[in-house]
């Protein structure tokens, strides 16, 4: 039975690809271990845009505002009274766990 060696393909963050394409320099990421041939491929090929979480593109103030909104929501939810259900002690009457 012949032995076949398969090598796992390396994947890189899309922002590294964007950096190489923006600068036009295939050697900019050499010290991070990105092969020059890979960077040259990024320069030659057209790529479709990458869809990411919007949080990565938010500025500092928008992120802080989002955190403050979540903290306020947590305080509101923590302050809500927890009604107990007699059939399942320790669980609230309106709960995703017990389905009531």
Is the predicted pLDDT of residue 85 greater than 50, yes or no?
no
Question: In whole angstroms, what is the distance from residue 92 CA to residue 76 CA?
Answer: 16
Q: What does the pLDDT read at residue 43?
A: 92
Name, in order, each residue with C-beta under 8 angstroms of 82's C-beta and a sequence gap of 6 or more.
92
Question: In whole angstroms, what is the distance from residue 82 CA to residue 92 CA?
Answer: 6
Is the predicted pLDDT of residue 84 greater than 50, yes or no?
no
Residue 92: beta bridge partners?
Answer: 84
Q: What is the pTM for the complete model shown?
A: 0.44
User: Angle, to 10 degrees, between the axis of helix 36-44 and the axis of helix 14-23?
Assistant: 70
Q: What is the pLDDT of residues 19-44, one digit of tens each?
A: 999 999 999 998 889 999 999 999 99
Q: What is the pLDDT of residues 53-70, one digit of tens each?
A: 766 667 888 878 888 888
Percentage with pLDDT > 90 across the chain: 21
């Amino acid at each position: 039975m012949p032995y076949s060696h398969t090598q796992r393909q390396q994947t890189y963050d899309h922002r590294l690809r964007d950096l190489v394409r923006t600068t036009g320099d295939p050697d900019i990421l050499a010290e991070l271990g990105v092969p020059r041939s890979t960077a040259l491929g990024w320069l030659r090929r057209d790529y479709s845009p990458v869809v990411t979480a919007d949080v990565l593109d938010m500025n500092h103030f928008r992120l802080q505002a989002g955190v403050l909104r979540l903290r306020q929501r947590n305080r509101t939810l923590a302050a809500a009274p927890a009604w107990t259900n007699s059939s399942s002690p320790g669980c609230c009457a309106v709960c995703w766990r017990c389905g009531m």
